[in-house]
Structures are given as structure tokens and as C-alpha cells.
A and B are shown apart, each in its own frame.
Chain A
């Protein structure tokens, strides 16, 4: 099938502009993706016709808004193949989802001497909450390293598992290296020892078809804004059985069942974890983004992005003195690199002035930068609306950088 790239690009108004007198090339998709016009329109339509607080009123608008919100939950459940709607919790984003689990899982299950395993390739959001909850609970926080290709060192990871291990927290796809971790295999091994597995799906769900039941992980967290939906909306998927066991995270609003002066009872799943008035606008936008992705087909998206990655890797390898970080066999569509000894800030500044948005710095993964002994990288992360012509422009800008800093 030919990917309808021209049609797709026309769905994203923001891409059609000039920056510094040059056509914009947007390669910072791992930080946040752009929104198709129909997502923007869905949010506008919501405010023009349906806006209201949900779950409370008996009136027409409240019912309509509640229906939209709950219908979205059902569609997200189907999108990642969760067991049922009670397993889908709306949050502000991946970071909140991860903090929710770290805090409540810590309270319920972590005791002094217990262990949590994470990896050196984690984003701070799936590293610091576990590090901190372990410090609080007197538990041990352990971190598995990498192979030279930037793949997870599975031998080291499995070697860390013992009778004290309570949970493994790892990313589906590394936001710096692009490495796709074998989460299904890791989960199967962890479950033999009765260890819970949390997967940070922030970089996974926008690139790959995700089936949480096939993966069998206990938690899967992701953000709307990295999958063509608005900012400020995210999802926590958790297995019903384990979510039932966890205490509430925040108090007030929809998570309440009954309040007395001396005690309170809590609502059932998924509402138990949704305190306060939710981001209905975000949910409406996320639902529309999922419709859009379903129409494109996640398999087709993954295969087109893979062709972009292959093209970029080939072109980069043709440039002298380029160091690419992350050459995993299973890799999502992003490249982290350094140009000779040129500081990533220097290179990124010039590439920006050539109209190309790449990310420079530590990418919220300081432990990984220390591990690789580098100050940071340049990262070009692709989405399905990017083209090989845009990659050619990136390559030209890299050559320009080399010339300017000679």
C-alpha cells in the first residue's frame, strides 16, 4: 500500500509554515506530536455544543459530555486491547500515571528490604518516582544497564531478579536511543516470580500497535500529546485486579462514594483514581486522535516510520564523524547523534536556524547521558507526516554545521 503522505500532511496545518524564512521541518515528535485538524475541530465542537461538567448533572449537556467521555474510555480500551473500561484511568499524562502507580504501589506493596528494578535508559519520569518511593519505603532501587548497541542488558536485568523484587519499571521505547524493549518476554519472566511489570508507553503507543493483554504487563502509561492528541491528557492502564488493591492517589470529586465526618468510602474503578473535574476537552481530543490513527492503521504507520528510520540511518552513516547512539535491531523512528566533537547545543542552534526542529540536550535522561559519558545528543524523531525529502534537508544542515564549525 502507498502511504498517502500528501493527504496526511494536509491534515496538519502547523506543518505548512516558514521559520527563519525556510519551510519548517518538524523532527521533535518524541517531545510532542502535532495535531491533525480534526482533533482541533473536535475540541472546538465540544466547547461549542457539549461543554459541561460530567457524571453529575441530570440535564441534557451533562449527559452528552459524560457520554463523550465514557465513549472515549471504551475506544481507548479497544485501541490498546485492555480487558475492560475499569482498567482505563484518565490522567494528566504519562508522568502523572507513573507517579500514581509509584506512590500507591509503594504504599501498598513496598516494605523495607524490598526491591524495584528499573533501567538506565528510562526517562526521568519513570526513574525518579521509583527512586524516591524506594528511599521513602526503605526499599532498594536497582538499575539495569545496556549493551553496546543501546539494547537492554537482559542478562543483567534477569540477574537482578530475586525473592525481594516487587516490580520492574521499564520503558517500551527509549526516548533517546529508540530501542524497543522486549516487554512481553520480560513480563513473562517477571510473572513467573510474581513480580509486577510497569511499562512506560509514552514513546511506544504512537509508533507501534499496542496490545496490553498480549504484552501481559500490569501497567501501561502514555500521554495524549505524543500521539496527535492535546496536551494535559494521559492514560494509565492497569490490570483490574491490581488496581483494586491499590489505595486512592488523590482525594476529592469523582473518586468519592460517601463522606462522613470520621471516614470516607471511595468510588469504584476507574473513578477511584480520577479525582477532581477531569480534562474532558483532552479526552474528546484524544478520542478523535485515536479515530484518526485507526483510519491510518497503526501497522501502516509503523511500517512507514520504519522506512523513514532506515532512510535516515543510511544517510547518516554516509557522513563522516557521525556518532549514532542506539543501533538496536528493534528500533523506533528516532535518531540520537553527535557530529564529531561539536557540542550538541552548537549544532542544534544552527540546525534550528535552517528551519529544522530537532531536540538537543539530555532528553530528561541524565542517568543515561552519564552512562554514555556524553553531555547530550541531537535527536531527530520522526512521525508519519515526515518525508525522506525532509531527512535530506536534515542531512544538508548537518553538512552545513560541519562546515561552520570547521
Chain B
């Protein structure tokens, strides 16, 4: 599926819930089912700074796509990462770099993006885009076309 299609799917899922607590119940459930990062990547080198909770994010490049895995010590953060992974993992660097982030606003997670709140959704998105840029540059240097 394309990034925009998954984003629309996520937005639709959240639109079923009016109350914030219900939305967070969904995020908590998502947090519990986050595909776990390999323990060997849970080091400071993969730690995203700027979050109130710890977030480790790992990316690898496989057949033109970026595969993301992550973990956090907070469950809500894990739930948010799970949404991001569902949207951005298994996509090409090019598509990730050009992805529109309106979905965050639409599901009401905008407050998590605010740079003044140190809970790091913005840091996570930034890191994913940085990985995409790094892989894109590397592949171009090697003469591949993503």
C-alpha cells in the first residue's frame, strides 16, 4: 500500500472514537503489539533524543525499501511509533521523503508534534526522514535508482 492510503486508513480508524481516552486505549493496544526491535540495537547509538520517554529506532535498506523497527520504555510512545512504522516502514526512501504529514493533525496527535513538548513525535518523524535521506544518498552514490 502507498503511504497516503495507509494514512487514510489510520485516520479512519481513529475517527470512530470521540473521546480522548478511547483514542488512547487504541494507541495503548497498538503499543503492546509493536514489532520489537532486535535487542542489539537498543543502544545509545539508536536512541532518539528529545523524548520524555526513551525511543530506539533502527532502519535498514532491503530491495529498495526501508524497514523500520523500534521500541520505547513508554507504552503510549510505543503505540505512536507503531503507527509511524505502519505508515513508513516498507516504503521507498523517495516516498518517505515526500510524505505528507497531515494525518497527524487529522487523528489529533498534533500536540505530540509540538516542538515545545518533549515527547518526541517530531523527533521520531525527523529521524525517519533522515534515515530515508541517508539511504537515498547512499544508493545514488552507488548508482542505484531507488
Contact = CB atoms under 8 A, between A and B. Distances in A.
A346 interface: yes
Contact of A345 (B19, B24, B28, B52): B52
Contacts, number: 43
A354 interface: yes
B28 A343 contact: no
Nearest to A360: B52
B20 A405 contact: no
Given A345-B77, A346-B75, A375-B73, A404 B24 contact: yes
Interface in B40-61: 52-54
B74 interface: yes
Contacts of B53: 343, 345-346, 375
A354 B21 contact: yes
Contacts of B24: 349-350, 353, 404
B20 A343 contact: no
A247 interface: no
Nearest to A22: B20
Given A20-B20, A354-B21, A361 B118 contact: yes
B74 A353 contact: no
B52 A405 contact: no
Interface in B16-35: 19-21, 24-25, 28
Given A345-B119, A346-B74, A349-B76, A404 B20 contact: no
B107 to A, nearest CB: 14
B64 to A, nearest CB: 36
B21 A343 contact: no
Interface string A348-374: 011001100000110000000000000
Contact of B76 (A21, A345, A376): A345
A264 B3 CA distance: 66
Given A361-B52, A376-B52, A343 B118 contact: no
A359 to B, nearest CB: 11
B25 A343 contact: no
Interface string B94-138: 000000000000000000000000110000000000000000000
Contacts of A345: 52-53, 74, 76-77, 119
Interface string A15-27: 0000011000000
Given A343-B53, A345-B119, A405 B21 contact: no
B118 A405 contact: no
A400 B24 CA distance: 12
B20 A353 contact: yes
A353 B20 CA distance: 6
Nearest to A21: B19
Contacts of A400: 21
A404 B52 contact: no
Contacts of B28: 346, 404-405
Contacts of A344: 52
A161 B74 CA distance: 42
A343 B119 CA distance: 12
**3 tightest A-B CB contacts, nearest first:** A343-B74, A353-B20, A345-B74
Interface of B: 19-21, 24-25, 28, 52-54, 73-77, 118-119
Given A343-B74, A345-B53, A345-B77, 11 more contacts: A20-B20, A343-B73, A343-B77, A346-B28, A346-B77, A349-B24, A350-B21, A353-B24, A361-B52, A376-B52, A404-B21
16 contacts: A343-B75, A343-B77, A344-B52, A345-B74, A345-B76, A346-B28, A346-B74, A346-B77, A349-B76, A350-B21, A354-B21, A360-B52, A375-B53, A376-B52, A404-B25, A404-B28
